[in-house]
Amino acid sequence: MFRSPTVRFGLGMSTATTMTDTTEPGSYFVANYPPFDRWTAAALPAIEAAFAAPPADVPLGLYVHVPYCRKRCKFCYFRVYTDVAAPDVERYTQALVREAALAAATPALAARPLRYVYFGGGTPSFLSARQLERLVAGLRDSFGWAAAEEVTFECEPGTLSEAKVRALRDLGMTRISLGVENFSDVILEANGRAHLSAEILRAWDWIRAAGFPDTNVDLIAGMLGETAESWHETVSRTLALEPDSVTIYQMELPFNTPFVRAARDGGGVVPVADWSTKRAWVAEAFARFEARGYVASSGYTVVRDPARVHFRYRDMLWEGADLAALGVASFGHVSGTHYQNAAHQDDYLNQVESGHLPVARGLAPTRRELLIREMVLGLKRGRLDTARLHRKYGIDPLVAWRGAWERLVADGDVVSLGPPVTLSRAGLLRVDALLPAFFEPAGS
């Protein structure tokens, strides 16, 4: 089923760097466990066996990676392509449909209804309305889509038109996430964003008029050139939009980004805000949104109506759901195994067009590693049901990692061991720096 192409591995985030207050090159955000730098091609037989086995009794989701952007942001480390020819985009979208058919035919995924779908990138809204219509139709032909509780679609403001926004609503997208990042045109340009503030406002009018059930705005605290005044203004303008949720990331500098490469080649540093400043800015934003009735649902997210607005993609995936991943360099999770597709477009296309799933590397975690994964990802929500994990894995996290919990309590990052474990606001805002305390030594 699988054929392993010759690719260079290294895409993705490794173990979080040791924290200093200065924002230094390296990965901070924890997206999975074990870290991506432990994934190898040696796991391919285990991944193939997982796809060939009967389905796991967990929810199934679908991730669709669209790797095209009008520009590469200077802080971007994802697999994206710019200046791409129209025939190449068309070929890629056809490959996504073909890959969906291959994946949906495997015993582990066959006939299972999707509980959530996520279109990410890159820039999914880079595609035309006609391409999106053909893509969604092809995906629906392979996967049971009707039961999906959430279909999220990421957008870059300058790629939208009123007709495209209406098409997204007609195609059944339930959650639109708009990559705003900042409202200062000077800051947007300095960080390599393709859009400016006027495009944000125009796109938001179309999104509101289309009546999506759930709208999200993405922001980044601490971009190059950010000041306390500019951040305050960005939060004010986001409040005026009244989105259903706001996701705020803290600027980091992974090694394979234009910012870091330019600094390395020029012998300088990237003058972005330090961590304490970024945490203070996020704390300010959370406080202002909470004053308007929003509720913090993770270390990055505030939600206006938590009884109505949910994050199925996040919550199901963080609690062990399967994720069928489509597209170049995308990451998936099937029957307890992690996998990543071929990391370069030509390798990906050649594999799919030859009738093979394009899986290139992965990892078969131990049961203890799966427990750690759910534990560290769950902590990012600020509250962790350790009793649920004890029942599921037969290991009490409060006992197995007693020393780590005691240190977090002593440092003021945890206010209650419950259960549930509850983080303080300070702990929540630096949660990614806390998580490596639970990691196993590499090779153990």
Supply the CATH number for residue 435's domain. 1.10.10.920
- How many domains are there within the chain? 2
List, for residues 78-106, the tens digit of each pLDDT value.
889 998 999 999 999 999 999 999 999 99
Task: Please report the pLDDT score of residue 150 as a whole number.
Answer: 97
Q: Which of 149, 5, 153 is nearest to 65 (CA)?
A: 153
Q: Does pLDDT of 422 surpass 50?
A: yes
Residue 168's CATH number: 3.20.20.70
Q: Quick one: 147 and 41 in the same domain?
A: yes
Q: Quick one: 221 and 105 in the same domain?
A: yes
List, for residues 359-395, the tens digit of each pLDDT value.
999 999 999 999 999 999 999 999 999 999 999 999 9
The DSSP 8-state label assigned to residue 26 in this structure reads B
Indicate the pLDDT class of residue 261, thresholds 50, 70 and 90: confident
Packing angle, helices 367-379 and 386-393, rounded to 10 = 170
- What does pLDDT average to over the chain? 93
Domain boundary among 301, 316, 331: 316
The pTM assigned to this predicted structure is 0.93
Task: Please report the pLDDT score of residue 17 as a whole number.
Answer: 37
Indicate the pLDDT class of residue 3, thresholds 50, 70 and 90: very low
- Give whole-number Cα distances, 354 to 79, 104, 357, in Å: 22, 16, 9
CA 153-156-159 angle, to 5 degrees, is: 105
Q: Quick one: 143 and 212 in the same domain?
A: yes
Domain boundary among 278, 299, 316: 316
Task: Please report the pLDDT score of residue 296 as a whole number.
Answer: 97
Strand partners for 178: 155, 217
**What range defines the domain where residue 90 resides?**
36-316
Task: Please report the pLDDT score of residue 68 as a whole number.
Answer: 96
- 5 assigned to some structural domain: no
Indicate the pLDDT class of residue 213, thresholds 50, 70 and 90: very high
Task: Please report the pLDDT score of residue 387 as a whole number.
Answer: 97
- 23 assigned to some structural domain: no
Q: Quick one: 309 and 401 in the same domain?
A: no
Q: Quick one: 280 and 413 in the same domain?
A: no
Task: Please report the pLDDT score of residue 27 as a whole number.
Answer: 79
Domain boundary among 316, 332, 349: 316
Residue type, 22: T
Q: Quick one: 310 and 399 in the same domain?
A: no
What single string gives the DSSP state of each residue in 205-261? Answer: HHHHHHT-SEEEEEEEET-TT--HHHHHHHHHHHHHH--SEEEEEEP-B-TTSHHHH
Indicate the pLDDT class of residue 264, thresholds 50, 70 and 90: confident
Rounded-to-integer distance, Cα 432 and Cα 434, Å: 5
- 97 assigned to some structural domain: yes
- 361 assigned to some structural domain: no
Indicate the pLDDT class of residue 12, thresholds 50, 70 and 90: very low
Whether residue 34 has a cis bond before it, omega within 30° of 0: yes
- 283 assigned to some structural domain: yes
Task: Please report the pLDDT score of residue 1 as a whole number.
Answer: 46
Q: Quick one: 137 and 281 in the same domain?
A: yes
Indicate the pLDDT class of residue 186, thresholds 50, 70 and 90: very high
- 349 assigned to some structural domain: no
Residue type, 276: S
Rounded average pLDDT over 105-127: 97
Rounded-to-integer distance, Cα 338 and Cα 179, Å: 27
- 174 assigned to some structural domain: yes
Q: Quick one: 312 and 388 in the same domain?
A: no
Rounded-to-integer distance, Cα 282 and Cα 427, Å: 13
Under 8 Å between Cβ of 4 and 41 = yes
List, for residues 305-360, the tens digit of each pLDDT value.
999 998 999 999 999 999 999 999 999 999 999 999 999 999 999 999 999 999 99
List, for residues 266-294, the tens digit of each pLDDT value.
777 888 999 999 999 999 999 999 999 99
Q: Nearest 5°: phi and psi at 383?
A: -140, 130
Q: What percent of the chain has pLDDT over 90?
A: 86
Residue type, 319: E
Under 8 Å between Cβ of 289 and 246 = yes
Task: Please report the pLDDT score of residue 159 as a whole number.
Answer: 97
Q: Quick one: 291 and 414 in the same domain?
A: no
Q: Supply 222's token pair.
A: 């601490």
**Cα end-to-end span (Å), the chain:** 31
Task: Please report the pLDDT score of residue 304 as a whole number.
Answer: 96
Q: Does pLDDT of 7 surpass 80?
A: no
Task: Please report the pLDDT score of residue 152 as a whole number.
Answer: 98
Q: Does pLDDT of 126 surpass 70?
A: yes
Task: Please report the pLDDT score of residue 10 as a whole number.
Answer: 25
Q: Does pLDDT of 443 surpass 80?
A: no
Long-range Cβ contacts of 48-51 (<8 Å, 24+ apart): 48/1, 48/2, 48/359, 50/108, 50/334, 50/335, 50/336, 50/337, 50/364, 51/1, 51/103, 51/106, 51/107, 51/108, 51/109, 51/334, 51/335, 51/357
Task: Please report the pLDDT score of residue 20 as a whole number.
Answer: 67
List, for residues 243-255, the tens digit of each pLDDT value.
999 999 999 988 8
Rounded-to-integer distance, Cα 329 and Cα 331, Å: 7
- 348 assigned to some structural domain: no
- Residue count of the chain: 444
Q: Quick one: 271 and 371 in the same domain?
A: no
